[in-house]
Structure 1
Amino acid sequence: MTGMPSVAPVLPAADLPVDLRRIELLCARLRPEEGVELEHIVWRIAKLPRAEGWDNVLWPVGSLRGRELVLRVARREVSRALLGREVTVLRRLRGLGIQLPMGLPTVLAMAEDAVLVEWIDGTSADVTEPRMRAGVAGALARMLATIHSGPAPEVGRNPVRGVPLITRAEAFARDLELADLPPARHERAQARWSAGLAAAPWRGRELLLHGDPHPGNVVVPESGARGPAALIDWGDTTRGDPASDLGGMLLHLPSDALLHAYRDTAAWTGIDDEEIWDALVARSWAWATRMALSLVTAYAPDDGLGAAGHRLLSS
């Protein structure tokens, strides 16, 4: 869809074929979004993909008015529904008619198990320069606050995002053991998780969530380039407790100040209630810890996402 997020060393096996023949067939079957004229596309279908992630393959297919286009194609059966969910939410957000704090992927057309999008040039936030992290994190805080405060379309539920923390307890315990942290970090991780479990659960309306706003899913313009950072990969979008999104946000910059920047912009019912807020903060740090453990067990310490996980756990 854009600058591809970093991936773990070993990807899940693909059970849908993604080869040149399938790409050509999908391009011939594309259905344009409203207002998009596919006849202006200059087709140059590459022989090989540009990037491959857990759920999708990104395949260069040409350009439209000078903008590079890629076809985002599901590589697993389980990711088929994610593409449709992603397009539903992106259409809704673009239809709000407001200036968002971050950019979004531009969907041009769809086919079975595929979405045609503009490539977003830049560097993912997990490997961007450290001096830029605070600004990017602040923009993400405002972006999530805006998304959470708006209408939530009917989208499929994500089993591991926006859900009660207790449902992730087994995964937390497994990754805490696998991470083999120094004693002080182990105790801090366990304390944050326990505090989140002890906090009051989310009882507000189910908010629209990005689902996975970790640093690999934010594309930052190259130095000197104009325009805002972009929040990509909306396949995990869902509804529920905003704490899981805020946990992903804290991986960018582990700081209570970032949570308060989110609060300054958010406008959902209950955001000004101190008890609701304090419980949300506790759950957010628990979610951040859970996500950081999953990163340090999947990525090397010198990988951008692995480093983000270690920074959170050492904060």
Structure 2
Amino acid sequence: MTGMSNVVPTLPAADLPVDLRRIELLCARLRPEEGVELDHIVWKLAKLPRAEGWDNVLWPVGALDGRELVLRVARREVSHALLGREVTVLRRLRGLGTQLPMQLPTVLAVAEDAVLVEWIEGDSADASEGAARVAVAHDLARMLATIHSGPAPEVGLNPVRGVPLLTRADAFLTDLDRAGLPPELRARAAARWRTGIAAETWQGRALLLHGDPHPGNVVLPPVGVRGAATLIDWGDTTRGDPASDLGGMLLHQPSGALLRTYRETAAWTGIDDEEVWSALEARAWAWATRMALALVLTYPVGTGLGAAGHRLLNS
């Protein structure tokens, strides 16, 4: 499972075309992670990719100990930095030795603009039934709380995640106009945004953020298979205000209960301060509204991510 939506909108043009020849070259240049023996891989390069998203292509290349492997390859120049951030953070999180509430992608090797990973079997949360989606949303709340509470490596800052809400005001107003919501929903979205803007800005240390924990980036194990869900696609990871991560979390299940689960697990300085928490809640709902508008403008309502956007705006 890739974490990419079942119905993908028109993708931005690829300035790094991905074809079989490029896959062959990248496989030859892979540098294994510590403890990984590339000689044990049974190489079998597919003729076509398995999935393609905004920034990367997933191309099957073989198997290791019976586990299918895919090469995650940058299809745009801007994806170089995203892949680098992802590898940096995944290495750091695995190196901490902390028991996490969710699984992480397994990076086996890297090349200049590619990462060799294990294929994650299952369905993304946006394609899951209500009960399963709600259950994994609380796992995600605990996962984000754990990540936010730990050390933050020096990853590059993201201009649209973890930043003050005011920097996204023009984008919000543009999308609100474009969305063409019924008057009641438009008023509710605008009110949530105003409340978030009016809340005190983040004054704490810059926390480590996933960056984009929407329902398409959480993969549940196949039905009947035990195990934790996996939080994937760490390319937008950054440092800053945790409200943007909580906004993405609320797209799974727009409820105060989910925020309370997060608060019960988080241990960063200030989490117990009621004023800090109230301001964070307000900013989180504003971020969720901002993200929901982006989803309904990008994905049809019949898709998982489109439905997630509408569910938040109707809550």
- Output the TM-score relative to the length of structure 1: 0.99
Amino acid at match of 1:128: S
* Contact kept? 2:152, 2:239, Cα under 8 Å: yes
Matches within 5 A, 1:51-130: 51-130=51-130
Report how many residues are paired: 314
- Equivalent position of 1:162 in the other structure: 162
- Equivalent position of 1:290 in the other structure: 290
- Equivalent position of 2:210 in the other structure: 210
| 3-state secondary structure, aligned to 1:35 | coil
Q: Deviations over 1:190-230 (max 9, x none)?
A: 00000000000001000000000000000011110111000
Distance, in Å, in 1 between the alignment partners of 2:197 and 2:67 is 47
- Equivalent position of 1:262 in the other structure: 262
TM-superposed deviation, 1:3 = 2.4
TM-superposed deviation, 1:127 = 0.7
* Contact kept? 2:89, 2:153, Cα under 8 Å: yes
Question: Structure 1 residue runs of 4+, over 2 Å off?
Answer: none
TM-superposed deviation, 1:133 = 1.5
Distance, in Å, in 2 between the alignment partners of 1:234 and 1:9 is 21
Question: Percent identity, aligned pairs only?
Answer: 78
- Equivalent position of 1:278 in the other structure: 278
Distance, in Å, in 1 between the alignment partners of 2:2 and 2:40 is 24
Tell whether 2:44 aligns with 1:44: yes
Distance, in Å, in 2 between the alignment partners of 1:226 and 1:19 is 36
* Contact kept? 2:101, 2:228, Cα under 8 Å: yes
Distance, in Å, in 2 between the alignment partners of 1:27 and 1:129 is 37
Amino acid at match of 2:13: A
| 3-state secondary structure, aligned to 1:70 | strand
Amino acid at match of 1:63: A
Amino acid at match of 1:3: T
TM-superposed deviation, 1:55 = 0.3
Amino acid at match of 1:188: R
- Equivalent position of 2:189 in the other structure: 189
TM-superposed deviation, 1:8 = 3.8
* Contact kept? 1:4, 1:51, Cα under 8 Å: no
| 3-state secondary structure, aligned to 1:108 | strand
- Equivalent position of 1:5 in the other structure: 4
- Equivalent position of 2:153 in the other structure: 153
- Structure 1's unaligned 5+ residue stretches are none
Distance, in Å, in 1 between the alignment partners of 2:146 and 2:266 is 6
Distance, in Å, in 1 between the alignment partners of 2:131 and 2:197 is 34
Amino acid at match of 1:102: M
- Equivalent position of 1:249 in the other structure: 249
TM-superposed deviation, 1:241 = 0.2
Q: Deviations over 1:66-115 (max 9, x none)?
A: 00000000000011111011000000101111210001000000011000
Q: Deviations over 1:43-83 (max 9, x none)?
A: 00000000000000000000000000000000000111110
Amino acid at match of 1:70: V
| 3-state secondary structure, aligned to 2:247 | helix
Distance, in Å, in 2 between the alignment partners of 1:9 and 1:152 is 33
* Contact kept? 2:3, 2:218, Cα under 8 Å: no
| 3-state secondary structure, aligned to 2:126 | coil
Q: Deviations over 1:5-59 (max 9, x none)?
A: 2164100100002100000000001000000000000000000000000000000
- Structure 2's unaligned 5+ residue stretches are none
